[in-house]
Amino acid sequence: MLRWLTQFGPSLLGAVPYVRYLPSVYSLLDGLWPLWDGKRQALHDKAARPNVVRTR
């Protein structure tokens, strides 16, 4: 639930005057975040704190 709210919750701000541009900026930042993150996680991934275990 927290992951979903972090990913899609800011889009609810689109209906509020004077902050309509913030959801689009957040969405862009969330999409680009894995490019420079060491674990390749987006912001909504960081909020959920998932653990990925790789097996060989």
Check: CB of residue 22 under 8 Å from CB of residue 10: yes
How many domains does the chain contain in total? Answer: 1
Query: Is residue 55 a part of any domain in this protein?
Result: no
One DSSP character per residue, the chain reads: -HHHHHHHGGGGGGGSTT-TTHHHHHHHHHHHGGGT-TT---HHHHHH--------
Question: What are the b/e assignments for 19-49, b being 16+ CB within 10 Å?
Answer: eeeebeebeeebeebeeeeeeebbbbbebee
Query: Is residue 18 a part of any domain in this protein?
Result: yes
Query: Is residue 17 a part of any domain in this protein?
Result: yes
What pLDDT shows up at residue 53? 76
Report mean pLDDT in 10-residue bins for the chain, 56 residues: 77 75 84 90 85 77
Question: Which residues constitute the domain of residue 40?
Answer: 2-48
Query: Is residue 56 a part of any domain in this protein?
Result: no
Query: Is residue 32 a part of any domain in this protein?
Result: yes
What pLDDT shows up at residue 8? 77
Query: Is residue 10 a part of any domain in this protein?
Result: yes
